[in-house]
């Protein structure tokens, strides 16, 4: 007897618990196996790039908060670096150190979030997610000390940061840095050795190094594929050339590698912050900049290694108080380009975890 079957097309999203925002995937299944995938973007498009053309250079900082809203510090850093480059502003050293510390804290927070939600996608009833959030909460407390906000930070300004650290920030940071390695160990003992996690993630969603480079993937996803490339080493910005840290890489480029690279990057970030705490000099935290910056005509591109990958801002100035054009090279958006190739042939459950391991933020994808 032959059974007549036909593929079924399912809309995953825009309202779905595991699409990490309002992402929509039109997936065609043959039973449980994926035969076709078509991503549909744009549900969170707010026109940030166009809005930026009508705002002054300082006001755009608040727009960048809302792109990658779980790593606002990195977005701020990338943007203000672009402005500094185009306007030729020298940043005081103390400000650079504070910026690096806060960007690395943000990297830990973002990676914790990615790990927690990956495990949530694996179906672990939010327990690892809650543990991750518990540690992230401490980072957000530190951010609240720095700039009075927890998510939409707007901490950095062209020329430095807007306000010096409060005195209670440094002891709190020391305590956090002292405790964090044990927290990461605990998290790893809960997740990394778990056989169910290994069975689910190892060998799933492979992306080899050639494909990763061809798709211009960056960030932990690229390093999981074995490509030892990190903007902090490849094109050191701020003070990263003075710091000593390693670039963790993965073996195969599967979902498990992406997870383990993130865990190791958190450890490296702690190393970086520890070096920064010792080296931070005293001094001014903000270069003297006018309220309305008028950079000379020209363009500039500045990129940082955000938790998701290479985050770049391209600004074109016509000499006015607002940029003529502002373009964002959003790592989340570029990292989902190989999604179709990664998903074909896998099962529905794998779709969720492969998608989760890419770690996108829809605010950044759609902008």
Partner 1 sequence: MDFSETGILSFHGIYGIFALFLPGWLAYAVTCGVLAFIVINAMVMSTALYTWFERRMIGRFQARLGPNRWGPFGLLQPFADVIKLIVKEDTTPSTADKIVFAISPVILFAPTVLTIAIIPFGENTFLGRLNIGVLFLIGVTSVNTIAVLAAGWASRNKYAMLGSMRGVAMLCSYEVPMALAITGVVLIANSLSLYDVVQAQSVPFLIVQPLGFLVFMAAASAEMSRTPFDQIEAESELGAGYHTEYSGMKFAIFQLAEFMAPIVTSILAVVLFFGGTRGFDPIPGQLWFVIKVVLVLFGLLWIRATWPRLRIDQIMGFAWKGLFALAILNIFVIAIEVMLFQDGEGNITTRGMWTMAAVNWVITIAAIAIMVNVLGGKKLERPTPKPSPLANMYAEAD
Partner 2 sequence: MYGTGLLKGLSITMKNLVKPGRMFTLNQYPDRKIGLIGLAKMQNTNALAFAVKKPGTAVKALVGMVSVPDRMPQHGRFRGEEFSWYEQRCTGCASCAKYCPLGIIRIVTHPSEQQIPEGDKYFIDVFDIDIGRCMFCGLCVEACPYDALHMGSGFEEGKYRRHDLVINKQMLNESPKRPSLWFRPQIEGKDYHPHSHEEIEWQNAGRHERPTVEQQQERWTER
Residues in contact with partner 2, counted by CB under 8 A, come to a total of 39
Residues 280-309 that bind partner 2 (CB under 8 A): 291
Alpha carbon of residue 230 to chain centroid: 13
| The 3-state secondary structure of 275-310, one letter per residue | HHHHHCCCCCCECCCCCCCCCCCEEEEEEEEECCEE
CA gyration radius for the chain? Answer: 21
Return the residue of 42, 123, 166, 283 that touches partner 1, per CB under 8 A: 123
Which residue in 102, 154, 264, 357 binds partner 2 (CB under 8 A)? 154
> Is 344 among the residues that bind partner 1 (CB under 8 A)?
no
Q: Which of 346, 264, 298 is nearest to 355 (CA)?
A: 346
Q: How far is the CB of 134 from partner 2 (least distance, A)?
A: 5
Give the CA distances from residue 244 to residues 17, 101, 270, 271, 337, in Å, rounded to whole numbers and listed in that order.
Answer: 39, 14, 11, 8, 33
Applying CB under 8 A, does 321 fall inside the site for partner 2? no
Rounded Cα–Cα distance for residues 92 and 88 (Å): 13
Shortest reach from residue 83's CB to partner 2, in Å: 15
Q: Which of 21, 219, 250, 312 binds partner 1 (CB under 8 A)?
A: 250
Residue positions counted in the chain: 367
The Cβ-side half-sphere exposure at 2, using a 13 Å CA radius, reads: 3
Site string for partner 1, 17-56 (x = CB under 8 A): xx----------x--x------------------------
Interface stretch with partner 1, choices 73-81, 120-128, 146-154, 277-285 (CB under 8 A)? 120-128
Q: Based on the shown chain and the rule CB under 8 A, indicate whether residue 152 belongs to the binding site for partner 1.
A: no
Strands 160-161 and 156-157: antiparallel
Helix 255-279 and helix 348-358, axial crossing angle in degrees, nearest 10: 20
Q: Does 55 bind partner 2 (CB under 8 A)?
A: yes
Bridge partners (DSSP) of residue 325 are: 316
Interface residue list for partner 2 (CB under 8 A): 55, 58-59, 61-63, 65, 127, 130-131, 133-134, 137-138, 141, 144-149, 152, 154, 162-164, 166, 186, 189-198, 291
Interface residue list for partner 1 (CB under 8 A): 8, 10, 16-18, 29, 32, 119-127, 130-131, 134, 190, 194-200, 202-203, 209-210, 213, 225-230, 233-235, 249-252, 347-352
């Amino acid at each position: 007897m032959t059974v007549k079957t036909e593929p079924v097309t399912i809309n995953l999203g825009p309202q779905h618990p595991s699409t990490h925002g309002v992402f929509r995937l039109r997936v065609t299944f043959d039973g449980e196996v994926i035969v076709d995938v078509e991503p549909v973007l744009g549900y969170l498009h707010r026109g940030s790039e166009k809005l930026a053309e009508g705002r002054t250079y300082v006001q755009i900082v608040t727009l960048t908060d809302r792109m990658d809203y779980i790593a606002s510090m990195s977005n701020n850093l990338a943007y203000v670096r672009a402005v500094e480059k185009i306007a030729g502003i020298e940043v005081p050293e103390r400000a650079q150190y504070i910026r690096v510390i806060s960007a690395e804290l943000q990297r830990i927070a973002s990676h914790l979030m990615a790990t927690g939600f990956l495990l949530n996608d694996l179906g672990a009833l939010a327990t690892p997610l809650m543990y991750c959030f518990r540690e992230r909460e401490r980072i957000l407390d530190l951010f609240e000390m720095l700039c009075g906000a927890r998510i939409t930070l707007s901490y950095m300004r062209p020329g430095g940061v807007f306000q010096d650290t409060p005195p209670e920030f440094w002891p709190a940071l020391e305590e956090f840095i002292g405790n964090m390695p044990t927290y990461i160990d605990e998290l790893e003992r809960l997740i990394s050795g778990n056989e169910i996690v290994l069975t689910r993630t190892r060998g799933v969603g492979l992306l080899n190094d050639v494909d990763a480079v061809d798709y211009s993937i960056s960030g932990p996803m690229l390093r999981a594929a074995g490509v030892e490339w990190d903007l902090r080493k490849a094109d050191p910005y701020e003070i990263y050339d003075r710091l000593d840290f390693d670039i963790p890489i993965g073996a195969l480029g599967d979902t498990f590698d992406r997870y383990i690279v993130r865990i190791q990057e958190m450890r490296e970030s702690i190393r970086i912050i520890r070096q920064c705490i010792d080296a931070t000099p005293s001094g001014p935290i903000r270069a003297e900049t006018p309220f309305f910056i008028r950079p000379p005509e020209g363009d500039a591109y500045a990129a940082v290694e955000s938790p998701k990958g290479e985050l770049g801002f391209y600004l074109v100035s016509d000499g006015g108080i607002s940029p003529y054009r502002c373009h964002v090279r959003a790592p989340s958006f570029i990292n989902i380009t190989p999604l179709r190739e990664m998903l074909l042939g896998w099962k529905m459950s794998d779709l969720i975890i492969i998608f989760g391991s890419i770690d996108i933020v829809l605010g950044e994808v759609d902008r």
